[in-house]
Every structure is written in C-alpha cells, then in structure tokens.
A and B are shown apart, each in its own frame.
Chain A
Amino acid sequence: MFAARFALRRVLPAVRQARWYADPPATASQMSFTFASPTEVFFKDASVKQVDVPTLTGAFGILPSHVPTLQVLRPGVVTVFSEDGSSTKYFVSSGSVTVNADSSVQLLAEEAVTLDNLDLATAKANLEKAQADLGTVSDEAARAEVLISIEANEAIVKALE
C-alpha cells in the first residue's frame, strides 16, 4: 500500500509539469494616464480609453497595452477619449510622452491649453508676421525661433479650423 502511494506521488509531479501558453498581461484593460504641464494637472493616473498624440515622427493613438515607447511632442492637438466615449482636445506646444510596459502613460507638455482658450484671428496674424520675418532674419538662432513660431502658429490655425 505504501509502495503504491509512493509510486503515485512519483507519477503526479510529472503530470503537473504539463506546459501551457503564458497568461496575457493582467493590466491589459487599464491605462494609467498622467497628463500634466508645469503649472496644471489635467489627468493623474486616470483610466482612459485612448489618447491621440502629435509627435515628431507623426501622430499616433495610444490604447491600453500599447507597445512601450518614448516620443517627443510637436505643436499640435492631443485628443483624450475617456471611458464614457466623450473626447476632450488640448493644444500642446511641445513635450514628451512615455508609454511604459505596465500600460502607464506619462504625457508631459511644456504648455497645454484647451482649444477654447485660443483665438483664431490672433493665431493667423502671428503666422503672417512670422512668415514675413522669415525673409528678413539671417542669424541662425533667430531663424530657428521664427521657424518654430511658424510651425506652432500653423498648428494652432489647423486645430481651430
């Protein structure tokens, strides 16, 4: 009888070592989203459905379980789709976005405002002035500043139209 039990115990561990596929990651459905500028916090560890960001390499949308990446933002519109389906748009000037392996996303913008704080007429006027300045400046640093101003104003005008 003891021998039988002993033999059974010997057999069982072998059975337990059957293989199976790895489990899907536990955090697949949740994204911990933090969106802040130096002076204001818009989202802190919030759970949202999707975020669209404009980066130097192009615009892309981030969903939960997005592949981890680091990106730098360009002037443009960030759209946040929350869990209930509504979306909010923000204009960001520049910054960085980090998607980590545990589905947490940190979107840090140097300046971020909601679209209703921007005025289309002023943006158009600034854009024309910057384009006019482009012809006149020759210094490298000033030229870079004018180009940045053009890019930012173009993005504002595009966002508001």
Chain B
Amino acid sequence: MFARSSVAVFLPQCGQVRNMATLKDITIRLKSIKNIQKITKSMKMVAAAKYARAEKSLKPARVYGTGALALYEKADIKAPEDKNKHLIIGVSSDRGLCGAIHSNVAKAMKSELSKLTGSGKEVMLVNVGDKLRGLLHRTHSKHFLINCKEVGRKPPTFTDASLIATELLNSGYEFDQGTIVYNRFRSVISYKTDEKPLFSMDTVANSENIGIYDDIDADVLRNYQEFALVNIIYYSLKESTTSEQSARMTAMDSASKNASEMIDKLTLTFNRTRQAVITKELIEIISGAAAL
C-alpha cells in the first residue's frame, strides 16, 4: 500500500504519462470525425454549386466593371496628394470557413489605414460583411462609417450595390479620395486581394484631362460619378463572392482530406488496441487457468 501511494505522489514529478486510450474513447472519436467528414464533404459540394453559378455571372459583370473604370484609366485621373479625407471600403462577407478571404482584406485595410493616418489624413471605413467588422472591431472601431450585414447568403445584385452606395452618399462623409479592397478572382485555386481607386467629384472635375470631354456640367458629372460608384461596388461584390466560394470549396476539400487521413490512422490504432485487449484477456485467462 505504501508503494502504491508513493507511486501516486511520484507521478506528477516525472511529467505526463499517457494512459492507453480505451476502445470506447477511440470509437467515440472515430464516430465524431466521420460525421465531420460528411459535413465538410457536403459543404464542399454546396460551395462548388454556388461557385459555378457565381463564375457564370462574373463574366458579364467583369465587362461591366472594366467599362465603368475605363474613364478613370483613359483620362488618367490621379488624385492630388494633399487631400485629407479618405475612405476605405472593404468587401467580404458574413460567413466563415473560407480560408484566408476575410483576413486578407482586413490586413490590406489595416495597412492602408495605418499608412494614411501616419501621414495625418482622416480615414473612415466601410465594412461590407460582418466578418470584417469583427476583425477590425477591437482596434479601429472609431473609424467605422458603415457596416453591412447579410452579405454572402444570396448572390449579390445591382440593387445591393446601389443600397450600399446610397447609404454611403447619404452618410454625409465628403471623401476626397477612396480605395475599395476586394478579392479578385483569378482561378478556382487562386485569388488575389486587389485595390481599386475611387475618386470624388471634385477630383474628376479638376483633373487635367477632363477638359477633353465635351459638354459636361456639374449635374451630369454628379449623376455619372454616383452611377460609377455603384458600378465599382457591384463589380467588387461579384469578384469577392466568386473568390469566396472557390476558397470555401478548397478549404472544405482539404478539411475532408485531413479528416479521412485521421480516420485511417484512428482505425489502425483501434484495430491495434482491439487486438491488444483480446491478447491481454487471453493471457489473463491462460495465466489464471495455470494458477488453478
């Protein structure tokens, strides 16, 4: 008895000693991992279907978006350096389990924001997607202008983009220059976090090349700018959703693969343990019989 109690005291000092997992523990673990694998497999198929749909509607949206940005590129409109009020729009979604989609956008937004506040500019953020709000909430909540929820459940439409743009224009924040951060879709397995510039009406009106364009008055320019803003938001929403669905597909696929690897390993351990238990019982029976 003394020997046993001294062993009980001795155990913590020599570090962890792992108990042999019982058959019951392994069975429970195996069942739960099999369930998880089923879930991730079905999530992958759902993401694949949504991705196919999103990619099909991305083709016209891309032509539309590049058409909307064409003026700013061809007229070579650049924002003057000394303007103070900036705006950063981050486009993402509400739902997780899609890899590094949200954190990439948040990282780009954070670095842009610190660069701008470092040079003394005033910056406000627009978060399209609840995940971005959660990621930036701790450190940059005083820069939040607008937060958008219920993004990502259904495919984005032009109406959604116009709602966001209306909120932005009604918020009263007269920004001089802006950036929109989104994930540009490259292929099924790759996307890239990209930034596109947004210009205010004054920047466009005072740009040097705008004189080439004939017969423009302030009203027409304002309508044109507002429409262009909606177009850019729509384009980035479409690209973002396609990237997100493809990333979710990849993430769920690798999760299913990891789960099946774990199942294989655990099944081997289970069989080994089962054989060990049977051998132990046999030995006990044999040695017990021998004792008789």
Q: Using CB atoms and an 8 Å cutoff, list the residues of chain A in contact with chain B.
A: 34, 36-41, 44, 56-57, 67-72, 94-96, 98-102, 104, 106, 108, 110
Contacts and interface: CB of A to CB of B under 8 A. Distances in A.
Interface of B: 57, 59-61, 63-64, 67-68, 70-71, 74-75, 157-158, 212-216, 220-221, 223-224, 227-228, 231, 234
Given A36-B67, A37-B60, A98-B67, 6 more contacts: A38-B60, A39-B158, A57-B220, A101-B74, A104-B74, A106-B71
A100 B70 contact: yes
B224 A72 contact: yes
A106 B68 contact: yes
Nearest to A95: B227
Contact of A69 (B61, B215, B234): B215
Nearest to B71: A98
A69 B216 contact: yes
B224 A57 contact: no
A69 B214 contact: yes
B64 A67 contact: no
Contacts of A99: 213
A108 B231 contact: yes
B223 A72 contact: yes
B242 to A, nearest CB: 15
A96 B232 CA distance: 13
A106 B67 contact: yes
A56 B227 CA distance: 14
Nearest to A35: B67
Most chain A Cβ neighbours within 10 Å, of B63, B71, B221? B63
Nearest to A110: B158
A37 B64 contact: yes
B254 to A, nearest CB: 33
B64 A96 contact: no
A115 to B, nearest CB: 20
Q: Which 6 A-B pairs have the closest CB atoms?
A: A106-B67, A38-B158, A72-B223, A36-B64, A41-B60, A100-B74
A106 B63 CA distance: 10
A99 B213 CA distance: 8
A38 B64 contact: yes
B74 A96 contact: no
Contact of A68 (B57, B212, B227, B231): B212
Contacts of B75: 100
B71 A36 contact: no
B224 A96 contact: yes
Contact of B234 (A38, A57, A72): A38
A10 to B, nearest CB: 41
Contacts of B212: 68, 101
A110 B224 CA distance: 12
B170 to A, nearest CB: 12
A96 B214 contact: no
Contacts of B67: 34, 36, 98, 106, 108
Given A70-B213, A96-B228, A102-B74, A108 B64 contact: yes
8 contacts: A36-B63, A38-B60, A38-B158, A39-B57, A41-B63, A67-B214, A70-B213, A98-B71
